[in-house]
Structure 1
């Protein structure tokens, strides 16, 4: 669990770093989703977001810094439970602020933090461990550990059960269609794409890995070897995904999530090697500390922080609190299992709308429909066709180069990061038509903020649609104009109109 804590904190810091490059674009009123649009079209009344208290990017920056501070505290294990709570609250907050850029990995990341609120994942490899000393035992069992393991299994079971299309279950063409999507195609995928038989085998291997492998987590004998097998296969599985498809942090989140399943034999090996490494750098660290200690004393900085200890709980109160906590976690776990069963369309277990408020409020709502029920086939690429006042056509997607309708060498490279790729995917849906003018006007504004750019009198967001066809057929792209916007022109005075007082 300690190893998972470190990995999850590192992924959150990476997520913050990626998101922070788009503070204005994704989280401010000057971006693609102003607060009034969020409230009108995307808001769930049961969801809360500190990031929605202001449309200023400066306020967003402060909240991002607070989340980063919580993640750093979580990484080093400093007041771990409080750091977990702060990080979870701010992670949920930023996800609620812009649902148009979310992906399946975000659901798993916040669920890991939620269950970790009830887990002692700060008892090793942490500042808390140095303060509290070694625990009485290194194994731990509670309702939260069961919830964590069940949650990992649900991710893969549900994504397999939701893959109901023939291309997954009978035809074996799902990986072929996935690698036909130029917007997510990585170099590794290009190497595999020409081999139809291999792609068919990988399709069935993917489906049955997701469907059957989680059962290994519940085999009661030879647990060590089954856990090692599960973690090893999952790492190979997600590493393969990362080399073939552009999925952002999805593969890292999944790889971090299974570290808590490592058995004692793996952790004992890691401890021995970490201890050996510590032996090598400890003399150097001691020498450096000896050098700075006089300076710290001169500045009157304490080397140790005093910690106030709470009065010890009686054994009876501790037993009562532990059982209340386990009961609460068990109820939430049952709710989460019910939610997931409903997501795979089991009519006998249907969860009515009034019961969903709890899931939305605490963000334990989840849906694992990755490439399900079928692979998305509306492939293509964007052209941001800006017309200058001189009549030239420039592509803002390619830094103002002349517009060309030739397919780019790498469609994936057009996207700044996976958040923008997900936004561009949602931009296509007719149900999200409301978001199109805001993106178009945002592009116009940032273009005109650069004085070296020629002024535009018109911008068209064009999608070159290229439907993925079977058997390596190459369709002819069709040009679809999704949005047209023009910069506001100052109103010309009407010299023939009457004075205001007479109108």
Structure 2
């Protein structure tokens, strides 16, 4: 088949919104993670990002002059402006998770994520960085096609046939689908990059090479919410060795596993178990939730539909 023929064959698929369930899962996961984090830090919000922060507005302005990062909190240092932005962050996170006016809520969500995180970049971790990036990518996706209040509203009140809108609407719809597909591809590439770089950096570390790296965080006071459980796991030399090498192999091998659907799904399960273990053992729930939300871009559609059927069935029974 010629190149032109291949392009013609692939064009109808490129103009179709691909992976709608994966986009919805990423949307719900990212918005839910950030919203839950903001709720947990509500008592500390002014200390982290507001007028009481040790990282003062003046210091942050000097940093922004070098990084050119964006934050609406630089427009005013007053308390009530900060409170309004923080409240908008909570509302937009809830609206995006529910899929209400998804285009507008995604834009507001990205705006507030960037504004709060760039106000004090010193309090974030890898999970915050991932939320930062995914919030930008979600603006360009059709993440409210399924599992959203928007989809429910469209099903109840279907709009006029697209053909009745003529060619401009059809062209806009095709461009939106292409933009969505490109954004989903970027999200997938971002996840691959996260795992690949994490794995290859670990390979260079002496503690990862000798199989003892997992031992140390399990014995650090700041990362042991369950000291007894951490001591039990960290006290086994064989288990520590297996967890250390297993983590490196899974992260380095993840990009190559994408060539095999079964192997990819197995690694996704292992990665999910690893993230849950990090949330429980190391006390990093929001980092783990952010990683799980990003992993959803690779979840099989069949598995997502199974989860939907289970949750829908339980919701109906509860009613």
| TM-score (ref. length: structure 2) | 0.78
Q: 1:30 to 1:175 in 2, by over 3 A?
A: same
Deviations 1:50-104 (A, max 9, x none): 1233333332211111111111111211111221111011101100101110111
Q: Residue in 1 aligned with 2:20?
A: none
Which ranges in structure 2 are unaligned for 5 or more consecutive residues?
1-22, 163-176
Q: Aligned runs of 1:1-400 on 2, under 5 Å? A: 1-40=23-62, 44-133=66-155, 142-163=181-202, 164-169=204-209, 171-187=210-226, 188-217=229-258, 219=259, 223=261, 225-277=262-314, 279-280=316-317
Q: 1:177 & 1:267 partners in 2: Cα distance?
A: 36
Q: Pick 1 or 2: higher relative contact order, CA cutoff 8 A, min separation 6.
A: 2
Specify which structure has the higher proportion of strand: 1
Query: Does the 8 Å contact 1:175/1:202 carry over to 2?
Result: yes
RMSD: 2.6
Query: Does the 8 Å contact 1:27/1:34 carry over to 2?
Result: no
Q: CA deviation at 1:29?
A: 3.7
Q: The residue matched to 1:60 in structure 2 has which SS?
A: helix
Deviates more, 1:35-44 or 1:116-125: 35-44
Query: Does the 8 Å contact 1:122/1:128 carry over to 2?
Result: yes
Deviations 1:212-247 (A, max 9, x none): 123223x1x5x3x34432331121011111222132
Q: Residue in 2 aligned with 1:290?
A: none
Deviates more, 1:272-281 or 1:151-160: 272-281
Q: 1:31 & 1:58 partners in 2: Cα distance?
A: 15
Which ranges in structure 1 are unaligned for 5 or more consecutive residues?
285-503
Q: 1:55 to 1:269 in 2, by over 3 A?
A: same
Q: 1:160 & 1:153 partners in 2: Cα distance?
A: 11
Q: 1:68 to 1:204 in 2, by over 3 A?
A: same
| TM-score (ref. length: structure 1) | 0.51
Q: CA deviation at 1:130?
A: 2.4
Q: 2:53 & 2:308 partners in 1: Cα distance?
A: 47
Specify which structure has the higher proportion of helix: 2
Query: Does the 8 Å contact 2:219/2:231 carry over to 1?
Result: no
